[in-house]
Each structure stands twice: as C-alpha cells, then as structure tokens.
C-alpha cells in the first residue's frame, strides 16, 4: 500500500511538471502543451486525431542514423540523438525552475528528447 501511495504521488508530481512548460522561440517564452502517448511526451499539435501525425512522432518510429557532428555535443546524448533524428534541441522550462530537453522538428512538433533517446538506447543496454 505504501508503494502504491508513493507511485501515485510521483505520477502526480511528474504530470504537474509538464503542465506548465514554456519554450523560448527566439524572442519570448511561449507555453508548451504536451501529451503523453506510448511513454513519450509529444507536443499536442501532433494529435489531430486519436494517434499522433507529426515529424516528432515519425522520429520515434525508427532509429536515427548517427550524423557526423562536432564533438562539442558529446556531453548530452539526448541532444545529440535529437540532431541525428533531424531535430533541434530546445530547453523547456517549468514555472518551478525545472528544465527539460525537447526535440523540435521542422513542422513545429516536439518530443521530449530523453524519452526519444532512451527508446532506442535503453539503460539496460548501456555499459
């Protein structure tokens, strides 16, 4: 019972963290609304029907080839994978000061970068 209560609290905290995200568009911070689908957090503009139809979702359907990019990106594997997938890494901020990596695609859709990275690079497979 205690474990169930702890998991419930964690779920509420995690969902609240993504309810108030803002993303910088080069001029101002704008609200970022996300929806979870198959354990991935996608921008709500991906959902025109029951299932997502956007570049961010397409990137989550196949593993990206490794691009020939500068070593400066070696510190953040999720940001690197975002670039490999054809996106640009962006930092979303919560009102409480939290920062979250999102991958922005040309159609304006976004996916949480660590979720995308871990889908194809599970923790259990890394050494």
| pLDDT band of 78, cuts 50, 70, 90 | very high
First to last CA, the chain: 34
What is the reported pLDDT for 16? 42
What is the reported pLDDT for 20? 84
For the residues 30-54, what does the mean pLDDT come to? Answer: 94
pLDDT of 9 > 50? The answer is no
Structure tokens at 40: 């991935």
What is the reported pLDDT for 70? 60
User: Any bridge partners for residue 24, and if so which?
Assistant: 29
Domain ranges of the chain: 2-125
Predicted TM-score (pTM) of the model is 0.77
Residue 87 CA to residue 78 CA, distance in Å, equals 11
pLDDT of 23 > 80? The answer is yes
Q: How far is CA 66 from the centre of its chain?
A: 19
């Amino acid at each position: 019972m205690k474990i169930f209560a702890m998991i419930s609290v964690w779920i509420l905290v995690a969902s609240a963290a993504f309810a108030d995200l803002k993303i910088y568009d080069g001029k101002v911070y704008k609200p970022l609304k996300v929806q979870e689908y198959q354990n991935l957090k996608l921008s709500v503009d991906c959902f025109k029907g029951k299932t997502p139809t956007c570049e961010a979702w397409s990137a989550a359907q196949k593993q990206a080839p490794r691009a020939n990019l500068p070593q400066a990106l070696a510190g953040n594997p999720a940001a690197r994978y975002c670039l490999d997938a054809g996106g640009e890494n962006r930092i979303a901020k919560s009102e409480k000061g939290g920062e979250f990596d999102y991958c922005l695609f040309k159609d304006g859709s976004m996916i949480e970068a660590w979720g995308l990275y871990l889908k194809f690079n599970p923790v259990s497979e890394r050494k």
